[in-house]
């Protein structure tokens, strides 16, 4: 049957686009070179090519496809389209589902794709502005009886295709069956719970599968703030003793920050090689399963917090020829972490490390290597029968670059060069000295000394290029819009001028307010990056007569600078706040900054907060600098609404510095993270260099507390002055949280009250140099 040519409404561009798309997509299945479009036409000469313009037409054509057929979706938007694509193609004649032009077929609304059968090929689609009504956006099985094998998805984009409720879990891609390939695709912006790409082993037909996941661009995934934010997971605890045999190769993971595990291996005989991790928080984790190989990967943290490398658990693992630079993760997200195990471990816990080979890796300018990590009463089985050979590990000025948490005599050390600035307790293999490095043409550092030529990562490592991965038709995202990156818009005195300027402001713009009073009678709803600042020499005063002055909605980032805000005109309504997050569209991964801001007279009722982070909201950072707060009946920052004890919380990082607080009835900062999940980094609090007078004595609920911190993982409270205030109250809920309370002065303020939610929580504490009543000095 000959080619059904595209009608003129598709034009020559439509036909050329289809041929180009088909050429790219068929390469791996027909071994034809991409440079010869004529070969694509030749491969199509006996095919039936059908241009589909409606879902009804698709449902009529799809059940009758034959080997070599090509279904072409017409350019445009396809809304609420649940695509079922199944058939019996052959190696030489796959059945294809393609975009008329790659990138111009938009699958939107409540939509998904289920693939069944053999030798099926999908190419060129974009999933955007919607979410799946099922558990997967793309599933390599139509049903448990119809599983895809020898099939391929390529040049496909999934762009922020998120559930409306970020706690509702789904997979963007679920790989089932055998010998399937997922390549040259772009996946960016997954913000709801669930793995971005999961390899499923729940069916016998999906084990020992030989899948290839290659040349994809896994783009920015924001911090999820709970478990279930992996970018790739292969298997689950339940199938961890089974082999998957999946290859993850030549991909780029760019700012994939969902949780502490970027790739979570939970099965055996997998290979992760030749990938590039860019500023990605977390680590590649050999969580379950044996005989996995992690080789020739490059991790570039570029000094970003929580960026990590490789974590080793279980038996017969090989970690070799990897390069790690500029990583700042510690604990389970260090550059290299070798775990302690649980004796006779159940499959869902930690199998003892045995017969691991860690060979020929380079770690440079990174924060931490941890051996026998996680040692506690349960995880009491240190690594055995393992070797570290020919590794080059050079730490800079990190104060604690190597942690040894248990007996490591079961790790043999051979021909390594491990340098630290100072001797490391319990690890004599670390020596002091210098190594001269030079950057090679691949951009990586190698030692100049020829005697070290065989130590560390190999010199022929090749980094995947950004333009060689992902869908060719989709532009990869750059940095998010920064405060002040847009236009500066002058604003005359008065609320009407402010509202007009606010309505026209674009992403990154600054509203520059003149001196005077701005009596705001409408809620300013922020859904973009915006700054509201005082003009040079001005001190604008903002008042408001609604329940809040500013509401943060999805997409919001807000900076306030040089303003005075009064709550004297606010209505007497429970739940008032100067700044509150939306309940209808909670912002996720937003930034909130207050610099040189004065807030006063939030006194109309006893629940009047400055900042209220409501349920569903997650701030990447709340920053309060050089600001003043006086006569507040509620709290300055309320971030304690995620009380379901599932590890969720409202703020990843909170930093309060150089500010003054006076007559604050509630807690200055209230943060809550319950449960015992260990897969996240936050919350983190820095409270430094502040002056606190009469705070925390009259909370709406709970005991008096100037700071109420539950489950916060990293606390620094230093060089503050407290007077006539309630105590600091800290409850540790999980893991080994770090708490430093140092060099604070105090008058008429009790000592901190620190409690453990469970006996297996082992906090690391430094409490010294303080002047609290009855506290250690």
* Mean of the per-residue pLDDT values of the chain: 91
Spatial distance between the Cα atoms of 490 and 533, rounded to a whole number of angstroms: 10
List average pLDDT for each run of 10 residues in the chain, which is 777 residues long.
34 53 50 37 64 96 95 97 97 95 96 98 97 97 96 97 92 97 97 96 92 97 89 93 96 95 96 97 96 98 94 97 96 94 90 97 95 91 96 88 94 95 87 91 95 94 95 89 90 95 94 96 95 96 96 95 96 92 90 98 92 94 98 96 90 97 97 85 94 93 94 95 96 88 96 88 87 66
Which residues on adjacent β-strands are paired with residue 718? 688, 742
Pairing of strands 146-147, 141-143: antiparallel
Distances (CA, A) of 636 to 460, 588, 608, 609: 54, 20, 9, 6
Spatial distance between the Cα atoms of 525 and 511, rounded to a whole number of angstroms: 15
pLDDT at 25 (0 to 100): 52
Q: Helix 11-30 and helix 37-44: axis angle, to 10°?
A: 90
Max intra-chain CA distance, the chain: 91
pLDDT at 348 (0 to 100): 87
Is-contact 748 772, C-beta < 8 A? no
pLDDT at 2 (0 to 100): 33
Distances (CA, A) of 490 to 29, 497, 500, 512, 534: 59, 10, 11, 5, 10
Pairing of strands 445-447, 437-439: antiparallel
Tokens of 519: 């009596």
pLDDT, tens digit (0-9, with 9 covering 90-100), for 69-95: 999 999 999 999 999 999 999 999 999
Domain ranges of the chain: 1-161, 479-614, 635-777
At 28, which helix (H) or strand (E)? helix 11-30
Tokens of 89: 């193609």
Tokens of 543: 């008042």
Spatial distance between the Cα atoms of 94 and 88, rounded to a whole number of angstroms: 8
Q: Which residue has the tokens 């230093």?
A: 718
Tokens of 317: 């693992």
Distances (CA, A) of 64 to 43, 85, 131, 150, 153: 20, 11, 28, 20, 21
Which residue in 226, 191, 194, 281 sits closest to 711, CA to CA? Answer: 226
The three-point CA angle 310-311-317 to 5° equals 95
**484-520 as b/e, with b when 16 or more CB fall inside 10 Å?**
eebeebebebebebbeebbeebeebbbbbbbeeebeb
pLDDT at 760 (0 to 100): 77
Close Cβ partners of 701 (under 8 Å, ≥ 6 residues apart): none
Tokens of 305: 């917090």
pLDDT, tens digit (0-9, with 9 covering 90-100), for 232-284: 999 999 988 999 999 999 999 999 999 999 999 999 999 999 999 999 999 99
Length of the chain: 777
- Phi and psi torsions of 270, nearest 5°: -100, 160
pLDDT at 609 (0 to 100): 96
pLDDT at 39 (0 to 100): 35
Cα dihedral angle (324, 376, 352, 342), rounded to 10 degrees? -140
pLDDT at 166 (0 to 100): 87
Tokens of 254: 């760019």
Tokens of 246: 């999946």
């Amino acid at each position: 049957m000959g080619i059904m040519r595209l009608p003129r409404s598709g034009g020559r561009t439509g036909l050329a686009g289809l041929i180009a798309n088909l050429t790219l997509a068929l390469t791996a299945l027909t071994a034809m070179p991409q440079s010869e479009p004529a070969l694509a036409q030749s491969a199509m000469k006996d095919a039936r090519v059908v241009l589909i313009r409606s879902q009804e037409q698709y449902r009529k054509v799809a059940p009758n496809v034959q080997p070599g057929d090509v279904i072409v979706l017409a350019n445009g938007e396809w809304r609420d389209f649940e695509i079922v694509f199944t058939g019996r193609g052959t190696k030489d004649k796959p059945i294809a589902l393609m975009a008329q032009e790659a990138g111009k077929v938009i699958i939107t609304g409540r939509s998904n794709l289920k693939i069944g059968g053999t030798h099926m090929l999908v190419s060129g689609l974009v999933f955007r502005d919607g979410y799946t009504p099922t558990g997967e956006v793309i599933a390599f099985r139509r049903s448990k009886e119809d599983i895809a094998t020898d099939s391929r998805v390529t040049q496909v984009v999934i762009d922020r295709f998120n559930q409306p409720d970020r706690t509702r879990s789904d997979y963007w891609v679920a790989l089932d069956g055998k010998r399937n390939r997922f390549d040259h695709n772009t996946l960016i912006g997954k913000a709801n719970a669930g793995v971005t790409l999961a390899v499923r082993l729940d069916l016998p037909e999906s084990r020992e599968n030989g899948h290839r996941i290659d040349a994809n661009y896994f783009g920015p995934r924001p911090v999820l703030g709970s478990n279930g934010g992996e970018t790739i997971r292969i298997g689950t605890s339940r199938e961890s003793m089974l082999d998957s045999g999946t290859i993850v190769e030549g991909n780029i993971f760019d700012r994939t920050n969902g949780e502490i595990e970027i790739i979570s291996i939970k099965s055996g005989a997998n290979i992760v090689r030749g990938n590039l991790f860019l500023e990605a928080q977390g680590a590649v984790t050999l969580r379950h399963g044996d005989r996995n190989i992690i080789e020739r990967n490059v991790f570039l943290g570029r000094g970003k917090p929580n960026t990590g490398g490789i974590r080793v658990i279980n038996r017969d693992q090989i970690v070799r020829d990897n390069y790690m630079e500029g990583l700042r993760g510690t604990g389970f997200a260090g550059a290299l972490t070798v775990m302690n195990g649980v004796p006779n471990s159940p499959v869902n816990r930690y199998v003892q490390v045995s017969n691991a080979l860690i060979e020929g890796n380079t770690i440079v300018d990174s924060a931490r290597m941890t051996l026998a990590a996680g040692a506690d009463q349960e995880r009491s089985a240190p690594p055995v029968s393992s070797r570290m050979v020919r590794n080059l590990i050079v730490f800079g000025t990190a104060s604690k670059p190597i942690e040894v948490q248990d007996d490591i005599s079961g790790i043999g050390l051979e021909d390594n060069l491990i340098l630290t600035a100072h001797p490391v307790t319990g690890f004599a293999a670390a020596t002091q000295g210098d190594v001269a490095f030079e950057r090679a043409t691949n951009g990586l550092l190698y030692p100049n000394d020829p005697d070290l030529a065989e130590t560390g990562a190999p010199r022929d490592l090749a980094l995947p290029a950004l333009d060689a991965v992902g869908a060719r038709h989709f532009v990869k995202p750059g940095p998010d819009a920064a405060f002040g990156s847009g236009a500066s818009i002058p604003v005359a005195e008065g609320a009407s001028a402010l509202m007009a300027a606010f309505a026209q402001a674009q992403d990154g713009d600054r509203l520059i307010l003149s001196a005077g009073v701005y009596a705001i009678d409408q809620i300013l709803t922020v859904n973009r990056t915006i700054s509201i600042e005082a003009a040079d020499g001005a001190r604008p005063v903002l008042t408001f007569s609604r329940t809040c002055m500013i509401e943060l909605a999805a997409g919001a980032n807000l900076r306030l600078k040089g303003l005075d805000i009064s709550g004297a005109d606010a209505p007497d309504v429970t739940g008032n706040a100067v700044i509150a997050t939306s309940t209808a569209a909670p912002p996720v991964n937003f930034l909130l900054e207050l610099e040189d801001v004065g807030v006063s007279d939030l006194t109309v009722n006893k629940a009047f907060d400055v900042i209220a982070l409501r349920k569903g909201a997650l701030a990447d950072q709340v920053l309060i600098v050089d600001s003043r707060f006086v006569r507040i009946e509620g709290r300055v920052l309320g971030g304690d609404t995620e009380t379901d004890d599932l590890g969720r919380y409202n703020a990843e990082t909170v930093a309060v510095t150089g500010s003054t607080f006076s007559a604050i009835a509630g807690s200055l900062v209230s943060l809550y993270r319950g449960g015992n999940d260990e897969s996240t980094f936050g919350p983190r609090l820095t409270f430094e260099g502040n002056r606190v007078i009469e705070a925390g004595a009259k909370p709406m609920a709970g005991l008096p507390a100037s700071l109420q911190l539950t489950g916060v993982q990293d606390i620094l409270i230093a060089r503050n002055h407290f007077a006539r205030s309630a105590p600091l109250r800290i409850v540790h809920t999980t893991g080994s949280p770090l708490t430093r309370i140092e060099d604070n002065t105090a008058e008429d303020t009790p000592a901190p009250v620190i409690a453990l939610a469970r006996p297996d929580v082992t906090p690391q504490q430094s409490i010294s140099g303080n002047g609290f009543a009855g506290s250690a000095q």
